Structure formats: structure tokens, C-alpha cells
Structure 1
Amino acid sequence: MTSEPRSGRPRASSREVLSEAACELFLEQGYDATSVSDITRRAGVSRSSFFNYFSAKSDVLWSGFDARVDAAVADLRDGGTPSRVLAAIGDGLAPDALALAIVNADAMGIAVELDRDRAIRQFRLQRETAARLVRDGAAPLIAQVRAGALSAAVLAAVWAWADHTAGRSLTETLSEALAAA
């Protein structure tokens, strides 16, 4: 049995290539005017390749952050301390498509989409954080309020960090936001 080399882009680079192509197109023609086909054509990959990495066009922007949220949710379910788990979301996260979209939301025509997607992720963090706090003995109302503040702090920190990527790390910004919550 002979092993033939795989054709196409290496798996490790395709996600980044797709993200870069998408951001370029969002800046050039706007988010709504950019189709998945436009992105795959620009990236030089098939449409099916796109869906190997992303389930929707908006996922191109959120995939790096979503991986961090998935890890945080798993840690919260495993008994992690909410403040420590939420702070870890920022560890090593470099500016990516999401940061670019936040800074260029108006030019990309994506401000409303970002707000909607931000709320979805914030609520997911709130729900999981509140559940952790209740398991740790907090009253449900107190858990919901505290979890709401903490999850809002995470997303506020991401937005503040994206606006000032040259200044402070996300870890520093996130620590300050979580302390304020």
C-alpha cells in the first residue's frame, strides 16, 4: 500500500487562511455582501473545506475565542473556580480575526452581528458560571447576578483589549475587568 501525499492546503494553515480571506473581504465589500463562496475562492479552498472548520460565516470571527470559552465551560463543570477559569480565557490569546472585526466593525458592516454574537457568548459564560456558583453553595439569585457581572467583564475586556492591542495584554485587561466585577 502506497501513501500518496494529500492535496490541498495543510490542515493547520487552512483555518488561518480562511480567516484572513474572510477579513479581507469583509473590509473590502462588507460582511453582508461577502458569501462563503467568496471566502473560499479568495482562500483557494473548496466550500466543503470551509465547513470542515466553521459552521457559519460568523464563526470565522469567533473560532479562537469560542475554543477558549469551550475550555472554560469544561473547567467550570469540572469544579474550577469561576474567577480563575474566566481569567484563563485571556492566557496567550493573540489578536485574531475577532480583534480585527471589533476594531473595524463599522467598516466591515458587522457591528450588529458582533453585538448579537457577543450576547450569545456572554450568556453561555453566565449560565455555566452561575451553575458552578450554585454547586458551590451560592443562592441562585446571587449566583446569577455574580455570574452576569463576571461574564460581562470577560466580553468587555475583550472589546477593550481589541481597541488597544498595542497597550496591554488581554490577561491584564481581563484581570482588571474581573476585579471590577
Structure 2
Amino acid sequence: MTPEPRSGRPRSSSREVLSEAACELFLEQGYDATSVSDITRRAGVSRSSFFNYFAAKSDVLWSGFDEQVNAAARRLRGGEAVDAALTGIGDGLAPDALALAITNADAMGIAGELDRDRAVRQFRLQRELAARFVRDGMPQLAAEVRAGALAAAVLAAVWAWADRTAAERVLRDLLATTIALA
């Protein structure tokens, strides 16, 4: 007896479909005017499916980056060299909803939201880095300052990468450059 085929979209594609639908709607009607219901209707999935992937509307834009930062945090906790863990954020981060949002922030009406979300993610990365530096024996204040500079460098690289339509330069190379500057 063969199992019944499952209905609905395959789990692996729903996140991408939701991101595409959200970006289309943000461009068409603006970020604030777009509801989660609008996104799910456009994507052809249920509202509960949306929340299987994202905690909030803004997370649609950040999911790829968040996955890369989570992986970098695991590598940092596992003892990987800081520079390698941070440049690794660029591995597998393809131009996605975040890059589109960065390059079209004004058209989407999302510039303020991006700034707030960028700050949250920058601080989260800073906390991970500072904890690593303290574990390695660095004094707390020095760890916070170094971590803040590196976290800012990572987000600056992502913005520069996206702002150049994400095709001119490899993100990993931009990360290496900004990390060296920090």
C-alpha cells in the first residue's frame, strides 16, 4: 500500500514562495499596507503556514541572513576562528528578499523597518561575538567593543553587497574586506 500524497506546497518551497509574494506586495502597495493575510493569499498558502516559517512579517526579509548568522554562531561556539565564521555568512547567501528590500527600500516603504531590524541583528551578532571573546580571555569591555565593530562590519558588507545588486561582488569577499577594516 502506497501512502497518500500530501497536499499543499512542498515545505522546502513555501518559504521562498512566501518571500517572493511578500516582496511583490511590498513593491506594489508598500510594506505597511501589506498584511500577512495579503502575503498568504498571494502565495496560495494558509496563514498558519506563514507562521510555520516566520514569526513576523519583517522576518520574511531576513530569513536567509538569519539562517547564515545562526550557522556562524554555532561555528563560533564550536571554536572556529572568528574571521572564518563571519566570512562564512557569505557562503550560500544568495540574492533574496533582503537584497531586494535593501535595493528597493524607498519603493517598498521599508527603510525604517530595515534600520530597526538591522540593529536587532547587529546586536544579536555582537552578543555572540562578545561571548566568544570573553570565553577566549578578552576583558568584557574590550570584547564588547571588538564585537560591536565586527558585527557592524558584517551588516555593512551585506548592505554594500545588496546595494550593488548583489551580483558585482561576492559577499564572502566583501565580508573579508569589512572584517579586516574592523
What is the TM-score when the length of structure 2 is the normalising length? 0.96
Deviation for aligned residue 1:92: 2.4
Alignment partners' CA distance in 2, 1:113 and 1:162: 16
Corresponding residue for 2:151?
Answer: 151
Offset at residue 166 of structure 1 (A): 2.5
2:9 corresponding residue in structure 1: 9
Q: Distance in 2 between matches of 1:32 and 1:103?
A: 17
Q: Give, in angstroms, the shift of residue 14 of structure 1.
A: 0.9
Identity of aligned residues (%): 77
Aligned match of 1:141: 141
Aligned residue runs from structure 1 range 2-81, under 5 A? 2-81=2-81
Which is further off, 125-134 or 74-83?
Answer: 74-83
Q: Distance in 1 between matches of 2:140 and 2:10?
A: 47
- Structure 1's consecutive aligned runs of 4 or more residues displaced over 4 angstroms after TM superposition are none
The more displaced of 141-150 and 2-11 is 2-11
Which whole-Å CA distance do the structure 2 matches of 1:117 and 1:35 have between them?
18
CA distance in 2, matches of 1:60, 1:92: 17
Backbone CA RMSD of aligned residues: 1.0
Q: Which amino acid aligns with 2:177?
A: E
Q: Structure 1 residues 3, 78: CA separation in 2 closer, same or farther (over 3 Å shift)?
A: same
Unaligned runs of 5+ in 2: none
Paired letter, 1:179: A
User: Alpha-carbon deviation of 1:142?
Assistant: 1.1
Residue aligning to 2:97: 97
Residue 133 of structure 1 aligns with an amino acid whose one-letter code is F
Question: Which digits, 9 at most, give the CA deviation of each residue in 1:68-95, with x for residues without a partner?
Answer: 1111111112222222111110112110
Unaligned residue ranges in structure 1 (runs of 5+): none
Q: Distance in 2 between matches of 1:5 and 1:58?
A: 33
